[in-house]
Structure 1
Amino acid sequence: MLRIPLNSTLNVDSEYLFQHVQFKSGQRIHTIGQTFDMLYIVNSGFLKTVMVDESGSEQVLGFPMKGDIIGIDGIHGKKYASEAVALSNCDIILVPFKKFSALGRTHAELETALYSVMSRELMREQVMISMLGSLSAEARVARFLVFLSERFAGIGYSGKEFNLRMTRHEIGSYLGLTLETVSRTLSAFNEIGLISVDQRAVVIHDFNALKTLRRLPPSRAQKKKQLVN
């Protein structure tokens, strides 16, 4: 049993003890339909949360990392509505919900912190819905790189150079795009100098351009085709 460290997402007095559990890449933290009894705080590592349909196809909902709380979707129905899978080796803090609720009655800041995290997740979902409905494929990928850059910087990593813990297919599932579109767009960003990409390693060269990008300019081949036609 270890103490929950103080962090910017959730402050817990050092006198309270919760269990840390190590998960290896590919392991599930919780599954769809599992009885809800626990909240999970990401202390280190990277994960994905997914919905799975009857045919076994996954829809990626998000990519939790340090400071995020997983399992909130189980509060209402008493069962988890999604599943969380480790994308790297992770250190996860297990917080029994009954114990958390009891602490919240005597420590209002804990309850406030939970509501803050829930609000933040709702805002992220709203941004994602807006993005999927209004932005081009290129802009979606650009905003996703901006999102990762800001998240990495926020937890103390480099926001300019980082590794993609998720596959192109998982990025596509999250953004509503095909694997081929994601791969092609990353290659195009690399070609015009917005980023450098080598498999999963990404270096951002022009953050502002990614943040404001709407559509990519036509390539030389496209321009030549337009002239010929």
Structure 2
Amino acid sequence: MNIRFISLVLLMIFIFFWEVSSKNSLNIPTASEVFSTFIELVKNDVLPQAILNSLCRFFIGLGIGVFFAILIGLILGYFTKIELLFEPFIQFLRPISPIAWLPLVVLLFGIGEFGAIFVISIAVFFPMLTLCISGVRHINPTLLMMAKNLGAKPYFIFKDIIIPGAFLHIATGLKLAASIAWIHLVAAEMLGIQSGLGYLILDGRNILRTDIVIVAIISIGFLGYAIYLLFSYFEKLILKKLGGL
């Protein structure tokens, strides 16, 4: 039997038991009530607007974090002495939770988009930085030595050897970075933003609308899964392309 069909059946069973068990509950809405709230939020443009705001922050923060991680990671991976110079700073900053920066950012810059985007960027920066450095280190040293002996300039070494050689690690890390970015986005919106899915959860809590909270949580899960599938697809395309080279 098809695995996806079994998963669908299990989902239907879960929804059925949810509907039945919460019929007489004062705190937990039924599945049908949550679905009605979903339709209401879509018709009122509340949910689409929240999703759009969250996705915009997600892609901006992810793009900034990944860009600087790749740029700095390639440099540190190639120039070992520079990496040794900055390693204490990296190891000091890396364990700090990205969410821990948010109160400081809010105090310095106020509540707004900057705080959420900063949290996302810093969340994906260090994992991608580590993968980029590792990717450069896995390049065959003989290739680099031959290029230097033949008088290749640093620009061409980076363009023709370093970037292609580390690209496999970068492509693999993008899916991980996307998941990390999505998780921290929702947390950032719950702490310092007045829009988005994270804020919708808080808003539902403040007005004692458990159904709105559940709709927002389910939306976060579905979008997170869609993002995972999207980046998994791109990862497979890249790996297939590299495998054919």
Instruction: Check whether TM > 0.5.
Output: no
Normalised TM-score (structure 1)? 0.26
Structure having the larger proportion of residues in helix = 2
Between Structure 1 and Structure 2, which shows a larger proportion of strand residues?
1
TM-score of the aligned structures, taking structure 2 as reference length: 0.25
Name which one, 1 or 2, has greater alpha-carbon Rg.
2
